[in-house]
């Protein structure tokens, strides 16, 4: 990883603090347009109910949304933690210098056209930024970034409105997409878009999240890795404490070339990184779906202490699909203990095959108890079985309308399970107007249990929980 980057002057503080917990933020070049489609950062911050001090900077305005507007960063009444800079590229190095001289800790450079550009000017501007960092001690996020966001403080520098969610996932990525929402799911509790990662990089992010009590799992979207050796050393240490899951893109020759022009990253050979990341304890995922699933799994489920997996289902067919997936993701179907078998035999029809997957529907239909109670009893029995390390719970969304609803059953199971993960999948539809995402948000509001978009993905999540427990020695 040759990289003509100079070591910037550092005051020892991790720049992530200013990015994620700023007490004051300046928005340089603050837009005077407001309203829903205006993408106005200041308006967004006010809307989130961010508690810090906001300073719009714009020489052409006096007042914006009830806030004083300052002609330049030098005119602010205090040394701000953070400045957001969104200007044409040729102005950027000079403005960063002004920020540095004004005592700003970190500058977010939103604009593109630096090392991501095809021209010499872009490379030269990149070098100038590094020079300013070295000379003034200011730190830079980006360029080519949407900035930082922290749900716990109602904070985000994104020009697009974030859907913040207070979940224990810390993220560092190289595209702003991840600071938004993907497919109805907020992935992030707090995070930074590193963009070109000219200065602040994955090492800073991992070091910060390492000791952050609000973060249980670290998610990375990586195009290129600056400070490669330091990255691997840091990952090795941090991954022993908290799981690090990583989507490393730009793996084909062509993708590597594109990554070069997206964020100016030197990508490195995929195989080399594969081996290095693995050795450092990083859990490498294949795609966005897996990144989201594992963020959720590690945030909301306990680790899985072994491979023995039980499946409870109201659909025999989906039980079998899950069983196939156990094989695929390194898990084993649990053998039910005699106690579990006996308990279930008491209430099952005589012809019923008690097995794993446990297709409980026929039992529910004939048992004396209300059928939701039969389902709950069976879940409880499986979770109490010492031969079972984790459970895939399959049910229908329409059970949300029975009392207790399926969301309560999942939360109850997760509490009941204590140190065993319960990964759920709900098939949808049929009665009424509720979907799995709605139910998932209810479950998540209790902070217990996780619902996945398919039974195979529930199995994959459990597989990775078991793998990490094994590798990190947290069994």
Burial 169-184 (b: 16+ CB within 10 A, else e): bbbbbbbbebbbeeee
| Number of Cα atoms under 13 Å in the Cβ half of residue 94 | 6
Q: How far is the CB of 93 from its own copies (least distance, A)?
A: 15
Distance from first CA to last CA of the chain, Å, rounded?
A: 35
Q: How far is the CB of 200 from its own copies (least distance, A)?
A: 17
Q: How far is the CB of 78 from its own copies (least distance, A)?
A: 30
Q: How far is the CB of 272 from its own copies (least distance, A)?
A: 16
- Cβ closest to its own copies, residue 10 vs residue 118: 118
Task: DSSP for 130-184, please give it.
Answer: HHHHHHH--EEE-SS---EEEGGGTEE--SSPP-----SEEEEESSGGGGSEETT
- Cβ closest to its own copies, residue 69 vs residue 285: 285
H or E segment and range at residue 17: helix 16-20
- Cβ closest to its own copies, residue 86 vs residue 136: 86
What are the tokens at 256? 């590597």
- Cβ closest to its own copies, residue 118 vs residue 269: 118
Q: How far is the CB of 407 from its own copies (least distance, A)?
A: 17
- Cβ closest to its own copies, residue 136 vs residue 374: 374
Alpha-carbon span 454 to 432, nearest angstrom: 21
Q: How far is the CB of 146 from its own copies (least distance, A)?
A: 10
Q: How far is the CB of 103 from its own copies (least distance, A)?
A: 31
- Cβ closest to its own copies, residue 303 vs residue 426: 426
Q: How far is the CB of 111 from its own copies (least distance, A)?
A: 9
The answer for 314, left when phi > 0, alpha when psi is -120 to 50, beta otherwise, is alpha
* CA dihedral sign of residues 312, 317, 318, 324: positive
In sequence order, which residues have a C-beta less than 8 Å from that of residue 253 and are 6 or more positions away? none
Cβ(171)–Cβ(186) under 8 Å?
A: no
- Cβ closest to its own copies, residue 182 vs residue 471: 182
- Cβ closest to its own copies, residue 14 vs residue 31: 31
Backbone angles phi, psi at 392, to 5 degrees: -100, 120
Alpha-carbon span 244 to 472, nearest angstrom: 11
Q: How far is CA 401 from CA 44, 372, 439, 444, 453, in A?
A: 37, 11, 11, 18, 20
Task: DSSP for 226-256, please give it.
Answer: SSHHHHHHHHHHHHHHS-EEEEE---SHHHH
- Cβ closest to its own copies, residue 22 vs residue 113: 113
Q: How far is the CB of 216 from its own copies (least distance, A)?
A: 23
């Amino acid at each position: 990883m040759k990289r003509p980057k100079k070591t910037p002057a550092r005051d020892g503080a991790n720049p992530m603090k200013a990015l994620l917990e700023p007490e004051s933020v300046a928005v340089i070049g603050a837009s005077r347009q407001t309203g829903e489609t205006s993408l106005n950062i200041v308006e967004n911050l006010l809307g989130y109910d961010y508690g810090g001090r906001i300073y719009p900077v714009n020489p052409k305005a006096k007042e914006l949304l009830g806030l004083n507007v300052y002609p330049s960063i030098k005119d602010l009444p205090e040394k701000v933690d953070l400045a957001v800079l969104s200007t044409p590229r040729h102005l950027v190095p000079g403005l960063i210098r002004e920020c540095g001289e004004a005592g700003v800790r970190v500058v977010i450079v939103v604009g593109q056209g630096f090392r991501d550009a095809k021209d010499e000017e872009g490379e030269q501007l990149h070098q100038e930024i590094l020079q300013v960092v070295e000379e003034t001690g200011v730190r830079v996020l980006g360029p080519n970034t949407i900035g930082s966001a922290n749900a716990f403080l109602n904070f985000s520098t994104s020009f697009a409105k974030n859907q913040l969610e207070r979940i224990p996932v810390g993220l560092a990525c190289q595209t702003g997409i991840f600071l938004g929402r993907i497919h109805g799911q907020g992935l992030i509790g707090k995070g930074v878009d590193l963009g070109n990662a000219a200065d602040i990089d994955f090492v800073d992010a991992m070091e910060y999240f390492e000791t952050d009590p609000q973060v249980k799992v670290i998610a990375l979207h990586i195009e290129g890795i600056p400070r490669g050796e330091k990255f691997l050393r840091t990952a090795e240490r941090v991954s022993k404490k908290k799981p690090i899951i990583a989507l490393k893109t730009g793996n084909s020759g062509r993708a590597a070339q594109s990554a070069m022009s997206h964020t100016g990253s030197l990508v490195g050979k995929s195989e080399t990184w594969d081996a290095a990341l693995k050795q450092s304890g990083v859990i490498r995922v294949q795609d966005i779906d897996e990144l989201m699933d594992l963020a959720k799994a590690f945030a909301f489920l306990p680790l899985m202490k072994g491979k023995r997996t039980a499946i409870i289902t109201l659909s025999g067919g989906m039980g079998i699909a899950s069983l196939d997936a156990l094989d695929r993701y390194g898990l084993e179907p649990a053998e039910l203990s005699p106690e579990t078998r006996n308990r279930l035999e008491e209430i099952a029809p005589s012809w019923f095959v008690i097995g794993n997957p446990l297709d409980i529907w026929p039992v529910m239909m004939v048992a004396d108890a209300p059928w939701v109670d039969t389902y709950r009893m069976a879940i409880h029995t499986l979770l109490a079985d010492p031969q079972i390390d984790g459970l895939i719970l399959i049910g229908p969304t329409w059970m949300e309308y029975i009392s207790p609803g399926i969301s309560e059953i999942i939360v109850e199971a997760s509490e009941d399970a204590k140190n065993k993960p319960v990964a759920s999948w709900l098939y949808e539809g049929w009665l009424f107007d509720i979907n799995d995402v709605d139910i998932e948000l209810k479950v998540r509001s209790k902070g217990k249990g996780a619902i996945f978009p398919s039974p195979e993905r529930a199995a994959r999540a459990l597989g990775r929980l078991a793998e990490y427990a094994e590798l990190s020695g947290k069994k």
